[in-house]
Amino acid sequence: MTATTAPLPRPSALHDVTLQVSGMSCASCVRRVEKALQAVPGVQAASVNLATEKATVQALPNVPPLALKAALDQAGYPAAVVEASAPPPAESPPDPRGWWPVAAAGLLTLPLVLPMFSGLFGAMWMLPGWLQLLLATPVQFVLGARFYRGGWQALRAGSGNMDLLVALGTSAAYGLSVFLMWRHPGQAHLYFEGSAAVITLVLLGKFLEQRAKRQTTDAIRALNALRPTTARVLRGEQEVDLPVAEVRVGDVVSIRPGDRIPVDGEVLTGRSHVDESLLTGESLPVAKSPGDRVTGGAINAEGALTVRTTAIGAETALARIIRMVESAQAAKAPIQRIVDRVSAVFVPVVLVCAALTFAGWWLHNGDAEAALVNAVAVLVIACPCALGLATPTTLMAGTGVAARQGILIKDAEALELAHAVTVVAFDKTGTLTVGQPTLTDLCPAEGLTRDEVLQQAAALQRSSSHPLALAVLTEARDLAPLTAEDARALPGRGVQGRVQGRALALGSARLAQELGAHRGPLVAEADRLAGQGRTVSWLVEGDRPLALLAFGDRLKDTAAAAVAQLQARGIHTVMLTGDSRSAAASVAGALGITDVRAEVLPGDKAAAVQGLREGGAVVAFVGDGINDAPALAAASVGFAMAGGADVASEAAGVTLMRGDPRLVADALDVSRRTYAKIRQGLFWAFAYNVVGIPLAAFGLLNPVIAGAAMAFSSVSVVANALTLKRWRGSATEGAAMNIGDAARASGVSAKMIRHYESLGLVDPPARTDAGYRVYADREVHLLRFIRHSRDLGFSLAQIQALLGLWQDRARPSREVRALAQNHLAELDAKLAELQAMRATLAELIACCHGDERPDCPILDTLAAPVTKR
């Protein structure tokens, strides 16, 4: 059976419950939590994410959430039910107590560890045994109590975890030290430093791990930060501030300039620009006017708006986006299931290895002390937590950075499959084209002008809402309007009426033929336009043809680049469309797509996609997420185009929040990078154990080094996942930026950018109709040039000269060298002055005794007359 990202059908009676779980430390804990939840009658499925410390349960309606909580409490993992109606806070502050156990353990352990390094300096010394015991005991039983609690809970449940391994290993080292101190007082080598150092290093590793894991949830926190808490609702003639929870669908909300929009709605009055960058990834504000939809969480710019509420609470686009990202981050990738099976037997295998290590060394040389130390090293270096963190932290980082670029990944399976896509099939209308017909050609008959026939056609179409009529009216918006009398529609053919006393008709070739006007030189032009995929209308007066109007759906500006990017990666591109063969061939030719399937009905698109999948191809289908739902479900991975207020169909695994087809290549790229990071994380997690455990078993690692390696393994796996946060999609490269984006990309503050513009170092940027600065890559390169030049100490005048040389492709290199040499000479002179200043100050300080006496030459020297040099 071939995997698909379409959700599996499930009984409608099932409901989801989310629990926040504490006390988990490794992949073995995840397995135990899932088993505890699945043991509750009525639970159909349970999935636990170690990185977010959340459990998602699908259960029958008769399963109360408190029963799930009780099952976890009994298993030793305290849990709290997360209410879907209560959004999480935008920023949960870090636990201020998290650092002090690490600091306290470090202070107590440092005196124990320092003697280990005394031999490097030719000195051998050791703390008295009673002092070592005094320092190690609070580390072992107070600061390390969490390991005993976690290990005991694991034993009660009949399993093991990382806590159990640490507790057993450090207890063995601590117990051996107490025994040796009692048996050979003042003579034996003790291992208190080993047990204390292991606990300290593990505590440090967990602390750093928590901080790193927190960064993987930045995307969710950024989206939650968009949730407004109050709304200004119109009640009669007055504005009333209400909590967002009390706003109802249909309420009219007033939004002032600078306000964050609190609800999804439709603009009733006012015009403004709205910043939707955190929702769609579009950096420039979007114009809004009456009739346009706005999305809660966006920021209103310069104009006041009144908005009729269309969605609130959990039904808003922002809430659905957050649920989609959370769902993707909580889901398990197929590769994680292999890790879960390994984790289920990991701890028992490690315990067996430790026992065999102890027995082997004892039988080999009869030294129980050395045997125990090596067994402790085996227990300590084993790291199930790295195995448990490798996949979920990478998924969270990957889905988070994708969401910031306008790519919403609904589930982990879609993310894992997308990297292997070999075929991308595009719907045409609304995906590769704008989806709105425009007037592309207007051919008047001999003796008539373009404006004249356009005015007449617009008069006939003025009362129509047909897409072709809107295209005509848009083209004629700058012309003086004419009025049509007795205008009426001719179903399936066009429209007719009287304009300036003349009986005119505008419609299809069939209408022109009925009226006897389908003749003359315009016929050949109509055939040529139809061959290019245009929709052709005839403007006629009686049996006399007056003009041809041709309509087409304009290609998106980035469509050709999107197809070229995919083809450059060796991905086969296909276009599936219900349009005519001529229209499809025209679009495909402009984009460089050779495989075209035209006149395909929506129901047949799914069969076409299934046919592409035959032979093992991994097929992605890109559509609008509504009409193309069958094809989206049939594809290996479905990509749904959506706007900020239209989240994708449930059939799609990935939603593209902007209508930019280049996001398809970006989604495949972030999938490839994420999957690579997952494999890297799992490789290192397994490598630590596969290499470390044998080294410890053969006595090549002492417990302190083993503990450090174990702590480092978890931190490094999470840190490796976090490198995904630097990813930037190609759809953002070369795109217009606002001043904030330009500042981040160049490293120059917005204030300094304005300053450089005022000095003429950077040309003033283009501006939108609303006056917003618009920057491109060229300006960013110039700003980086200026910043690096300032870092080297060049003056503004020198930078102006350097910029001129940099932008002159025919520049002689000797001029650049001469300018740099002059600057170097200036720096040498300044350094000489500074050295002289330093010598003078040092001399004066040496002459001043700095005691209670008043005599000191410094002040007198500073007051002395200036001597000419």
DSSP string, 206-257: HHHHHHHHHHHTHHHHHHHTT--SEEEEEETTEEEEEEGGG--TT-EEEE-T
Closest to 756 measured CA to CA, from 772, 775, 770? 775
Task: Answer yes or no: do 475 and 511 share one domain.
Answer: yes
Task: Answer yes or no: do 293 and 255 share one domain.
Answer: yes
DSSP 581-607: HHHHHHHHHHHT--EEE-S--HHHHHH
Provide the whole-model pTM: 0.62
How many Cβ atoms sit within 10 Å of the Cβ of residue 87?
18
Q: How many domains would you assign to the chain?
A: 5
| Structure tokens, 402 | 């994708």
pLDDT for the residue 635: 85
Task: Answer yes or no: do 452 and 539 share one domain.
Answer: yes
Is the pLDDT score of 1 beyond 50? Answer: no
220: confidence class by pLDDT, cuts 50, 70, 90: low
Mean pLDDT value across residues 231-235: 88
pLDDT for the residue 278: 59
Task: Answer yes or no: do 475 and 504 share one domain.
Answer: yes
Task: Answer yes or no: do 778 and 843 share one domain.
Answer: no
Q: What is the CATH number of the domain that holds 30?
A: 3.30.70.100
Q: Which 3-state string (H, E, C) describes 91-140? A: CCCCCCCCCHHHHHHHHHHHHHHHHHHHHHHCCCCCCCHHHHHHHHHHHH
Task: Answer yes or no: do 751 and 783 share one domain.
Answer: yes
Is the pLDDT score of 27 beyond 70? Answer: no
pLDDT for the residue 307: 92
Say if 621 falls within a structural domain: no
| Residue 541 contacts residue 644 (beta carbons within 8 Å) | no
State which residues form the domain around 51.
Answer: 15-81
pLDDT for the residue 9: 39
308: confidence class by pLDDT, cuts 50, 70, 90: very high
Task: Answer yes or no: do 806 and 828 share one domain.
Answer: no
Say if 784 falls within a structural domain: yes
Mean pLDDT value across residues 294-313: 85
Cα 322–chain centre separation: 12
**Where a domain ends, among 554, 585, 618?**
554
How many Cβ atoms sit within 10 Å of the Cβ of residue 834?
10
| Residue 663 contacts residue 406 (beta carbons within 8 Å) | yes
| Residue 254 contacts residue 234 (beta carbons within 8 Å) | yes
Mean pLDDT value across residues 20-36: 79
Say if 163 falls within a structural domain: no
Question: Strand pairing of 272-275 and 299-300?
Answer: antiparallel
> Scanning the structure block, which residue is given the tokens 């053919």?
493
Is the pLDDT score of 614 beyond 50? Answer: yes
Mean pLDDT value across residues 727-751: 74
**Where a domain ends, among 311, 335, 354?**
311
| Structure tokens, 713 | 């393994």
Task: Answer yes or no: do 451 and 525 share one domain.
Answer: yes
| Residue 635 contacts residue 618 (beta carbons within 8 Å) | no
DSSP 40-81: STTEEEEEEETTTTEEEEEE-TTS-HHHHHHHHHHHT--EEE
User: Phi/psi of residue 733, each to 5°?
Assistant: -80, 130
**Catalytic residue list contains 646:** no
Q: What is the CATH number of the domain that holds 768?
A: 1.10.1660.10
Say if 193 falls within a structural domain: no
Is the pLDDT score of 428 beyond 70? Answer: yes
User: Phi/psi of residue 59, each to 5°?
Assistant: -140, 165
**Where a domain ends, among 554, 571, 602?**
554
Task: Answer yes or no: do 793 and 843 share one domain.
Answer: no
Closest to 17 measured CA to CA, from 73, 66, 58, 50? 58
Task: Answer yes or no: do 767 and 858 share one domain.
Answer: no
Task: Answer yes or no: do 789 and 748 share one domain.
Answer: yes
How many Cβ atoms sit within 10 Å of the Cβ of residue 152?
14
Active-site residue, from 427, 579, 660, 669: 427
More confident residue, 269 or 219: 269
| Structure tokens, 199 | 């606990």
pLDDT for the residue 424: 92
More confident residue, 7 or 227: 227
Closest to 637 measured CA to CA, from 321, 413, 403? 413
pLDDT for the residue 125: 66
DSSP 768-836: -TT--EEB-HHHHHHHHHHHHHHHTT--HHHHHHHHHHHH-TT--HHHHHHHHHHHHHHHHHHHHHHHH
Percentage of the chain modeled with pLDDT above 70? 81
pLDDT for the residue 282: 58
Spatial neighbors of 869 by CB under 8 A, at least 6 apart, are none
More confident residue, 563 or 126: 563
pLDDT for the residue 173: 73
**How confident is the model over 567-589, as pLDDT tens digits?**
998 999 999 887 767 778 888 88
Of the CA atoms within 13 Å of residue 334, those in its CB half-sphere come to 10
pLDDT for the residue 651: 60
Is the pLDDT score of 96 beyond 50? Answer: no
**How confident is the model over 821-863, as pLDDT tens digits?**
888 888 888 888 888 888 888 888 888 877 777 778 788 777 7
Q: What is the CATH number of the domain that holds 253?
A: 2.70.150.10
More confident residue, 333 or 803: 803
Task: Answer yes or no: do 805 and 846 share one domain.
Answer: no
Say if 868 falls within a structural domain: no
Is the pLDDT score of 595 beyond 50? Answer: yes
More confident residue, 91 or 841: 841
Q: Which amino acid is at 517?
A: A
- For the chain, what is the mean pLDDT? 78
**What secondary structure letter does DSSP report for 657?**
S
**How confident is the model over 543-557, as pLDDT tens digits?**
888 999 988 877 887
| Residue 660 contacts residue 555 (beta carbons within 8 Å) | no
616: confidence class by pLDDT, cuts 50, 70, 90: confident
**How confident is the model over 464-474, as pLDDT tens digits?**
767 788 888 88
Q: Is 115 exposed, middle or buried (0-12, 13-18, 19+ CB in 10 A)?
A: middle
pLDDT for the residue 572: 92
Is the pLDDT score of 643 beyond 80? Answer: no
336: confidence class by pLDDT, cuts 50, 70, 90: low
Say if 293 falls within a structural domain: yes
Say if 489 falls within a structural domain: yes
Is the pLDDT score of 219 beyond 70? Answer: no
| Structure tokens, 806 | 């940099």
pLDDT for the residue 705: 74
Q: Which amino acid is at 807?
A: Q
CA distances from 506 to 447, 467, 476, 697 (A): 19, 14, 15, 89
More confident residue, 504 or 146: 504
Say if 292 falls within a structural domain: yes
